[in-house]
Structure 1
Amino acid sequence: MKNLKNLNEVNEVISTVPAVLIYFSGENCSVCTALKPKIEEQVKSHLPKIEIYEVKADFYKEIASNFSVFSIPTILVFFDSKEFKREGRNISVLNFIEELRRPYNLFME
């Protein structure tokens, strides 16, 4: 995952990349640490055209508050510069991937 460190970077990525996943995490969040490699692996193997980025919400509070992220982990998925999906806290990785499959196929193929 590539790290984003300011709001301009985030907005540029969202506006220029057709499919973006932004993973909001925290430095001392054990759930974030455990979930991150699972999300990354599943997205790369099932939805390879989605670019994955990470924002450390505890360090970059301006970015988190701009996207109304108040708990971690939170995942935002954007297709064509529009927020399509938002998941937080208790995330089933397989359900998450399955819910993205149809819109992914519509936008990316």
Structure 2
Amino acid sequence: MKSITEAQQLDAVLASHPAVLVLYGGRTCGVCQAIKPRLEAMLAEAFTGMAARYVDCQAGAAALCAQQRVFSLPVVQLWFEGQLFEEFVRVFSIGDVRRAIQRPYAALFDQA
């Protein structure tokens, strides 16, 4: 999962990829660090066309987090064709994220 720190980087990835998962976390957030590899594994297994980015709100990306109205961690945003489709905040499961991705991903990438 590539890291981004600025709004321009987020805009660029949203413009260049039809499907994007953004994880907002922090280096001292244990839950954030625990779900990051699980999200990466899920994308590698089932959603290979989806780009993944990580924003560390406790490091150099605080301004981007504030701009995106991320004030608690972790947050997962799902973007399809440049539009925010779903957002998960604090309490969610990897299964919740997987279920939210399945239908729009299948429609976008013409999967059965």
For 1:25 and 1:71, the matched residues in 2 are separated by: 9
Mapped partners of 1:39, 1:22: distance in 2? 10
Query: Which residue of the partner structure matches residue 20 of structure 1?
Result: 20
Percent identical = 25
| Aligned residue runs from structure 1 range 11-90, under 5 A | 11-59=11-59, 60-90=61-91
The alignment yields a C-alpha RMSD, in angstroms, of 1.0
Distance 1:90 1:105 in 2: 25
Normalization by structure 1: what TM-score? 0.94
- Partner letter of residue 82 of structure 2? S
Tell me the number of residue pairs that the alignment of Structure 1 and Structure 2 aligns.
Answer: 109
The aligned residue for residue 108 of structure 1 is 109
Is 2:14 the partner of 1:10?
no
TM superposition shift of 1:100 = 1.2
User: What do the CA deviations read for 1:36-62 (whole angstroms, capped 9, x no partner)?
Assistant: 111111122111110111000122111
Q: Supply the distance in 2 between the matched residues of 1:18 and 1:99 (Cα, whole angstroms).
A: 15
Once the 2 structures are TM-superposed, how far is the Cα of residue 99 of structure 1 from its aligned partner? 2.1
Unaligned runs of 5+ in 1: none
CA distance in 2, matches of 1:62, 1:85: 21
Q: Structure 2 stretches of 5 or more lacking a match?
A: none
